[in-house]
Amino acid sequence: MNKLEGLIGRTKLTALISNNLTDNQTQIDDGIGKSRRLIQTNGVLQGDLLSPILFNALTQDVGAKIIEETDTV
């Protein structure tokens, strides 16, 4: 969220995304039984429609950072 807010500011959209990512719970089903509910504290849920967009926002400066780091060597 810090990276996203750094890119577009603290807006209603970032608040909505933050609320969507808060208190995500998951449960593992191995075909025999189910685990207790686990609270996901990092990342986004697999299959979440926002995942590709948030990944792009998070990694948008990776190329520039690589160039910056290799130019100083």
How does pLDDT run across 42-73, given as a tens digit for each residue?
Answer: 777 778 888 888 888 888 888 888 888 888 66
Distance of CA 39 to the CA centre of its chain: 15
Query: Which of the pair, 53 or 33, is modelled with greater confidence?
Result: 33
Range of the domain at 56: 2-71
Strand residue runs (E) in the chain: 24-26, 38-40
User: Which residue carries 């520039």 as its tokens?
Assistant: 64
Q: Helix, strand, or coil here: 29?
A: strand
Residues pairing with 39 in the sheet: 25
pLDDT, position 42: 79
User: Tell me, what's the pLDDT at 68?
Assistant: 86
Higher pLDDT among residues 33 and 71, named by residue: 33
Domain count, the chain: 1
